[in-house]
Amino acid sequence: MEFGPDPQDGDGAFVARFLGGDESAFDELVRRHRRAVYRLAYRLLGNHEEADDVSQEAFLRAYRALRGFRGDSSFRTWISRIAINLSLSARQVRAPVVPIQEMPAPGSEAAGPEAALRKEVRRAVDGLPPRQRQVLVLKVYEGMKFSEIALAAGMSIGTAKATFFQAVRGLRARLAPEAARRGEEA
């Protein structure tokens, strides 16, 4: 199983430089984390427009709040938590829509097994309760440890583990036929 990339820290120096008045240090923090924040928002929201908006807003709020950043967690965990909360808010206010990516383009091969599987996966992840979805995304795609997930999602480590297990169970129930078929092909 391929989890997300290992966290690259060393952000503390950039945070310190920014707090010392070096604006370019914040730009560097943005460069280091913008893709991860975008990916996280995209996985939680399912479309580019909202993921873009949440990414920008997360960094804007980080910029304004960085002076109060206590360093209890890594910058990555901190910015992830901001993005998670923004994504949750975005999901609450929006009307349920079918993401564009799920609509097969005319003449495309969207009816193929690979597309069907992706669609099934997206639907399965989308169907999870928000907290399970968050934990799953942070663990599977962001490669966070449970201790980091606990900080990022605002829960205890035990709850993070239990929530992850519930998410896996939920996915397993939804994806069992697809996974079984894939296993047979492998």
Partner 1 sequence: MTTVGCEEARERLAAWLSGEIEPDERGALDMHLRSCAACAADADRARRALDVVASEEVPDPGPLYWSSFGVRLRARIAAARRRTLRRRLTAAIAAAAVVVAGLAVLQRRHEAPSAGAGPVAEKRPDVPDNVPAPLPAAKDAAGTATDRARRLPGQGSPARRALPVAEAEVRLREALDRAVAQGHDPGEIEALLEEIAPADPLDGADLAGHLSPEEGRRLADELLEPRG
Residues that bind partner 1 (CB under 8 A): 1-3, 27, 30-31, 34-35, 38-39, 42-43, 48, 52, 55-57, 59-61, 63-70, 78, 81-82, 85, 88-89, 91-92, 101, 117-118, 121-122, 124-125, 130-131, 136, 139-141, 145-146, 154, 161-162, 164-165, 168-169, 171-172, 175-176, 178-180, 182-183
Ramachandran sector of residue 71 (left: φ over 0; alpha: ψ -120 to 50; beta: rest): left
* H or E element in which residue 184 lies: helix 157-185
Q: Residue 167 CB, nearest distance to partner 1 (Å)? A: 9
Between 13 and 99, whose beta carbon lies closer to partner 1? 99
Tokens 């943005």, residue located: 30
Query: Would you say the C-alpha torsion 177, 183, 184, 185 has a positive or negative sign?
Result: positive
Q: Residue 16 CB, nearest distance to partner 1 (Å)? A: 14
- Least Cα distance to 37 among 12, 64, 57, 66 occurs for 57
Q: Determine contact, residues 36/142, Cβ cutoff 8 Å.
A: yes
Q: Determine contact, residues 76/9, Cβ cutoff 8 Å.
A: yes
Q: Residue 77 CB, nearest distance to partner 1 (Å)? A: 11
Q: Any idea what DSSP says for residue 102?
A: G
Between 68 and 107, whose beta carbon lies closer to partner 1? 68
Q: Residue 13 CB, nearest distance to partner 1 (Å)? A: 19
Between 3 and 13, whose beta carbon lies closer to partner 1? 3
Between 106 and 183, whose beta carbon lies closer to partner 1? 183
Q: Any idea what DSSP says for residue 2?
A: -
Q: Determine contact, residues 62/99, Cβ cutoff 8 Å.
A: no
Q: Residue 51 CB, nearest distance to partner 1 (Å)? A: 8
